[in-house]
Amino acid sequence: MELIQLDTALNEVWKGYVPVKKDYAIVRTSYLNKTAYLLLVNRLQPRADFLLYAVGTERSNYSLYTIKNYIPFAPVDFVITREAAWISGSYNYRPLVLHYNFATQKSRILPGFFNEPGELCQVKANPKGEVDVIVSSRNQARAKCLWIRTYDQEGYLLKTTVLEPEKDKSLMYGRSVITTGDDQVVAGTYGKSGEYSRGVFVARVNPFGEYRINYYNYGDLKNFFRYMRAKQEQRVKERIERRRVKGKRIRFNYRVMVDELIPYGDNFLLLGEAFFPHYSTRYTNFSYPTYPLRGFQPAATRGETVLDYYQYTHAVILCFDKQGKLLWDNSFEINDIRTPELMQFVKIRPEPDRVVMSYLYDNTLRSKIISGDQVIEGKTFDRLEKTITKVRTRRDNNTEMSRFKRWYGPYMMAYGVRRNPNIWSEDLRKTFFLSKIIHK
């Protein structure tokens, strides 16, 4: 494995090689105290141990930790604290967290997660060095609640807070952030049942576990439907108003993935992305068994419904104050993105007087600049070829990929791998690109 450190001007600082066992691949990364942490798993043996490389970015040295994997699971979240690594995922529809202590070099599955089916929402270190784990799971009344468990550095449970919704509602997914006075703001999506959500909730939880939840239906948001064509958006808003006048409930069902909850001055920004799955039916031919007395049995066709991809429609951003009151909302249409797995595409860069929303698709950066519920600059398209600053080439047959993320200050980073654009060439090399971007 080749490692290259670049400075903020994208100049090479040092380069080195780290030996890696066969069939291992990087699945998650983290960074803490001038050390980069690389988590590797065995792609062919699910029960194999995890490998964790800790690479010092100043001295270009590294340490290797072998983490015992007691249950075969795929890591979906990876958090590093001063004394431990926290690897989370699920097994048999049940969330789990693996705690690895750097001092003792021992790992263990944290208790309290393996009892009931649930969905892992977030694993996050708070300012005290403790780790908060949020899980969505059903209570005895079969309503989905959010279970917030706080652990110390050694992986011992400190407290558990359960956010329970009001009648006929379920808290489907949530993220949290610590605010002043050790209070905690939790925000996410709510619904009634199933996989569809009907709106967004915000809760402020004090250190004693007391909380109040505010709910905001999608139909109550000013700009949630702005991704539609103008006439379609107008028809939807007119239907909402007719139902509101008649005193009827406003119900919209959406699949929304909650991406981020971040501080924004004295307020908080919640970012989510709406999507829908696309399925198709695949047919296979088979024959019934043949019996001597019955003669030939004709072939038959069996149909199977399979997931093709996820289609994204738009991103929604909401701003709340410390008490969970909605201040404004806005949205950003997402075009063309189809992906076999759910991941965050839209990234935001908050500034004092504006918020830049961007995503990368087909080597083109698509951006929108907003200020509250107003649009300062509509969607723009910028090809990345003009911004590429460093490239490396290699020969392989991997598919094209690209990523986009916040970097530091006002800068964003785009990186990935591109194929040789000449489809008639025998040159199978690909180009790794890294771009430093700023919106002026």
59-87, pLDDT tens digit by residue?
778 999 999 988 888 899 999 999 999 99
Residue 284's beta-bridge partner residues?
302
Q: What pLDDT does 307 receive? A: 87
Mean pLDDT (the chain, rounded): 86
Q: What is the pLDDT of residue 117?
A: 84
What pLDDT is recorded for position 396? 43
Question: What is residue 61's predicted lDDT score, i.e. its pLDDT?
Answer: 86
Phi–psi pair at 240, nearest 5 degrees: -60, -45
387: confidence class by pLDDT, cuts 50, 70, 90: very low
Is a pLDDT exceeding 60 seen at residue 392? no
Phi and psi based region of residue 8 (left: phi greater than 0; alpha: psi -120 to 50; beta: remaining): alpha
Rounded distance between C-alpha atoms, residue 201 and residue 185, angstroms: 11
pLDDT of residue 429: 65
Residue 429, SS3?
A: strand
CB-count exposure of residue 434 (10 Å: 0-12, 13-18, 19+): middle
Tokens of 339: 């992906």
Instruction: Quickly state the pLDDT bin for 304 (edges 50, 70, 90).
Output: confident
Taking 90 as the threshold, does the pLDDT of residue 163 lie above it? yes
310-348 CB burial, b ≥16 within 10 A, e <16:
bebbbbbbbbbeeebebebbbbbebeebeeeeeebbbbb
Mean pLDDT value across residues 224-239: 92
pLDDT at 419: 66
User: In the structure, what pLDDT confidence band is assigned to residue 386 with cuts at 50, 70 and 90?
Assistant: very low
Cα dihedral 313, 314, 315, 317 in deg (nearest 10): -140
pLDDT more than 70, % of the chain = 89
Please tell me the predicted confidence (pLDDT) of residue 395: 41
Q: How confident is the model at residue 298 (pLDDT cuts 50, 70, 90)?
A: low
Q: pLDDT for 97-108, tens place per residue?
A: 999 999 999 999
Minimum mean pLDDT range among 58-72, 251-265, 317-331, 407-421: 407-421
Total-model pTM: 0.86
More confident residue, 400 or 105: 105
Q: What confidence tier does 327 reach under pLDDT thresholds 50, 70, 90?
A: very high
Beta-bridged to residue 109, according to DSSP, are: 98
Residue 390 in this model has a pLDDT that exceeds 50: no
| Least confident segment among 76-80, 110-114, 369-373 | 110-114
